[in-house]
A and B are shown apart, each in its own frame.
Chain A
Amino acid sequence: MNILVAISNVPDTTTKIQFTDGDTKFNSAGVTFVINPYDEWYALVRALEIKEANIAQKVTIIHVGLADSEATIRKGLALGADDAVRIDAEGPDAFFVGEQIANYAKANGYELIMVGKETINYNGSSVGAIIAGVLDLPFVSLATKLDIEGNKATIEHDIDGGTQIIECELPLVLSAAKGMAEQRIPNMRGIMAARTKPLTVVAASNATPLTSIKSFTLSAGRTTCKMITEDDLDELVNLLHTEAKVI
């Protein structure tokens, strides 16, 4: 069994977000990029654990992006993935990205496709279900536990107001959430090995994005915090009622 893990290249969580070109583009100057945490900690690490248990033969990383994302892809290889594929395109929207990954997966035979539950830059939670839609595969969202036995996956996942354990025949697509695995730090041997692991660059297949971003606006955030002393909690209640109007 081969596993395909889709990763996104995102600004580190602590990045101060800025835009450029008349607020139409993210300003990447001086920004540290990382593997999207949900793709890395939960999807990729669980895929590697499954391979280490000799249940999967190969873990491949796939990313839709330009050459500047290769340092991030190499980090995934350093964690232990066998090889990587970069679809050479900017990835203008979730549909475009999902369709590229689906086409690659179909042509190259993967039984399990894993993504993180969302990306921390565009927060769309869409790519996994789009891949499943293009390929007509089952989709399990918010997986917190995954075990594979033969051709059958047993998955625990979050549902509205609870959790559910399901079984599903492979192939399938899933999105991974907290609980799947613990974060790993690549070791020196992994980092050295990553340099020579195959990273194949593939031209994008024909696909038209269905959406485009017109402009960005920074959120205003909160400017002032009104401090209230602990002897004046009646005033806090009063402010919540008359000023904030939330109680």
Chain B
Amino acid sequence: MILVYTEINKGRVKKASLECLNYASKIAQLIGSSVTALVNNADESQLLEIGKAGATKILSIKNDKLNSDGVYICAAVEQAVKAENAKLIIFAFDITGKAVAPRLSAKLKAGLVAGAVDYPVVNGSTLEVKKNVFSGKATAVYSINSDVKIISLLPNSFPVKLGDNTATVVDFSVDLSTTISKIIIKETKSTDVAGMIPLPEAELVVSAGRGLKGPENWGIVEDLAKVLNATTACSRPVADMHWRPHHEHVGQTGVAIRPNLYIAIGISGAIQHLAGVNGSKTIVVINNDKEAPFFKSADYGVVGDAFTILPKLTEALKKFKANQN
């Protein structure tokens, strides 16, 4: 049995969790197994969606403690693993998965591949899983040699497909009486912008750098993002100079993203920036310097002044969208 830790965030089943359910369902077909999802505080429609994404059984928890500290999530997953005799556990390689999957790995002595990008290959009693290494410059095939195995899946590795499967929902009560959390939450601030998909989940990202010359010029970037329904991002210097908020910073030290389309405007393409965006499926670079190193890592390039190109590109996209409707 494959257990998928599934998370609800801001009223939705996380996209990364739906990807994990799809992923697990494909593995279940491959090895002749079934998929059980573990979820906390899911409502009817969310449970339905989890079934459509590939779970045949759902362990439904109602326990607010799980929202406060990863130690509770780890204990809940551990109990579900034992109750269901799970041999493979899938997490998303997101903020929760990065904090919980390794802890569970230590608790269960279960080998973990953190950030898988492809389906595992069965080799005897081992699973062989590919992941990115050297910040995207290479991939490595890891062999998981332990009896119980854990994979965390890099978000946006596979598109989400929903079928018409209905899962059996079972109430699952976790015993957290011996699990101690010492973390006291004092304050939570949201950086979400209304109507904008958060960066780690975004499929379309419009990002700008120092080439924009100042924060007052971001209107043309936002116009372009709006017509695409894309999320805005920025380079490190722009965040460091406080032209844009810190959470928009993409790159090695900021948020690592892998959208379908990344449009980089006025960003030279330093190696640290590339390390955080080179997983993007398609990269468009707009820069007035034809020697900008980013062009070497782009699929499409436009050399010229962002202040004339961006409004034109926004118009061209508006025309395209109008023709599509």
Q: Does B143 contact A (CB under 8 A)?
A: yes
21 contacts between A and B (CB under 8 A): A94-B102, A95-B106, A124-B115, A125-B98, A126-B105, A129-B70, A162-B190, A164-B185, A211-B112, A212-B143, A219-B138, A222-B296, A226-B300, A228-B300, A229-B304, A230-B303, A233-B309, A236-B300, A238-B320, A247-B228, A247-B320
Q: Does B183 contact A (CB under 8 A)?
A: yes
Within 8 A of B (CB), among A108-151: 120-134, 138-142
Q: In the assembly, what is the distance between CA of A134 and CA of B137, in Å?
A: 31
Q: Please pick, from A142, A212, A219, A246, the residue contacting B139 in the complex, using a CB distance under 8 A.
A: A219
Interface of A, helix, strand, loop or mixed by DSSP: mixed
CB distance from A21 to the nearest CB of B (A): 14
**A contact residues around B185 at 8 Å (CB):** 164-166
Q: Please pick, from B134, B142, B181, B301, the residue contacting A17 in the complex, using a CB distance under 8 A.
A: B134
Q: Looking across the interface, which residue of chain B has its beta carbon closest to that of A229?
A: B302
Q: B283 contacts A214, CB within 8 Å?
A: no
Q: A160 contacts B9, CB within 8 Å?
A: yes
**A contact residues around B113 at 8 Å (CB):** 211
Q: In the assembly, what is the distance between CA of A158 and CA of B100, in Å?
A: 15
What is the interface of chain A, defined by CB distance below 8 A to chain B? 11, 13-14, 17, 19, 37-38, 93-95, 98-99, 120-134, 138-142, 154, 158-169, 172, 177-179, 209-219, 221-222, 225-230, 233-234, 236-241, 244, 246-247
Q: In the assembly, what is the distance between CA of A145 and CA of B253, in Å?
A: 15
Q: In the assembly, what is the distance between CA of A36 and CA of B197, in Å?
A: 31
Q: Looking across the interface, which residue of chain B has its beta carbon closest to that of A241?
A: B320
Q: How many residues of B contact A (CB 8 A)?
A: 97
**A contact residues around B247 at 8 Å (CB):** 158, 162-163
Q: In the assembly, what is the distance between CA of A228 and CA of B141, in Å?
A: 37
Q: Please pick, from A159, A217, A246, the residue contacting B95 in the complex, using a CB distance under 8 A.
A: A159
Q: Please pick, from B95, B203, B312, the residue contacting A233 in the complex, using a CB distance under 8 A.
A: B312
Q: In the assembly, what is the distance between CA of A38 and CA of B191, in Å?
A: 23
Within 8 A of A (CB), among B275-309: 275, 278, 281-285, 295-305, 308-309
Q: A215 contacts B140, CB within 8 Å?
A: yes
Q: In the assembly, what is the distance between CA of A121 and CA of B137, in Å?
A: 9
Q: In the assembly, what is the distance between CA of A211 and CA of B140, in Å?
A: 12
Mark interface residues in B54-75 (1 if CB within 8 Å of A CB, else 0).
0000000000000001110010
Closest 3 CB pairs of A and B: A133-B106, A210-B111, A129-B102
Q: Say whether, besides A216-B139, A228-B302, A141 and B99 are in contact (CB < 8 Å).
A: yes
Q: Does B216 contact A (CB under 8 A)?
A: no
Q: A19 contacts B104, CB within 8 Å?
A: no
Known: A159-B95, A211-B112, A221-B297. 16 other contacts (CB 8 A): A37-B253, A38-B253, A94-B105, A98-B102, A129-B70, A129-B98, A129-B106, A140-B183, A212-B142, A215-B141, A217-B138, A217-B139, A218-B138, A227-B300, A230-B312, A244-B300
Q: Looking across the interface, which residue of chain A has its beta carbon closest to that of B252?
A: A120
Q: A240 contacts B261, CB within 8 Å?
A: yes
